[in-house]
Amino acid sequence: MFAILLVSILIFVLIMAALAVQIRDLMSSVMALAGVGFGLAIVFLFLSAPEVMTAQLVLEVITYVIMISVVYKTSKLDKTRKYSVREISPAAAMFFFAVVFIIFSIRGIKDLPIFGEPLMRASSLQIAQTISEIGATNIVTAILLDFRAWNTLMEAFVIIVMIVGVTVILRKKGRKVER
């Protein structure tokens, strides 16, 4: 029962992704992208990951609001030309690459542990030490803020760099126009 539900929601996610790529109306395309995000949040809930699910939901909503505002203020339709039957080179190159990629990735995936029994070499040590060394009960927060605090610090820097970058790009005064 669990496997059937999981596979059906994954098929729903794939269909919404294909719709987001192909639809020519930009508002509907962004809505299909939001559908991909929410379907993925349900998949994370099935795989017992509550923190990842809340992070995905909140980030998805913020992305959706910002993209809708950008599309609403600029063009709303995709006015590029359609490909005729003669010009098939991007699709053909993509198809060839996809076949090669899938063949090699199946040969690589065969060495992974079976779905449902991960190795957990480093994680078992960290789970055992959470109560004795830190005293917090949420294991994922304890890992992110004590065993791996460097990553969190660098991530805070990335957020500040992003804010500085957006402020610089959207300045009101550009360079002076040459006369």
Q: Are 32 and 16 in contact (CB under 8 A)?
A: yes
The tokens 């820097």 sit on which residue? Answer: 157
Rounded to whole angstroms, how far apart are CA atoms 23 and 77?
Answer: 10
**Minimum CB–partner distance for residue 31 and other proteins (Å):** 11
- Chain positions 36 to 95 lying near other proteins, rule: CB under 8 A, are 36-37, 40, 43-44, 47-52, 54-56, 58-59, 61-63, 65-75, 78-81, 90-91, 93-94
- In the bound state with other proteins, the residue whose beta carbon lies nearer, of 85 and 160, is 160
- Chain positions 108 to 137 lying near other proteins, rule: CB under 8 A, are 109-110, 112, 114-118, 120, 122-123, 126-127, 130-131, 133-137
- Chain positions 135 to 154 lying near other proteins, rule: CB under 8 A, are 135-146, 148-153
Q: Which of 103, 169, 176, 179 binds other proteins (CB under 8 A)?
A: 169
Cα radius of gyration rounded to whole Å, the chain: 22
Rounded to whole angstroms, how far apart are CA atoms 105 and 21?
Answer: 24
The tokens 């060839």 sit on which residue? Answer: 96
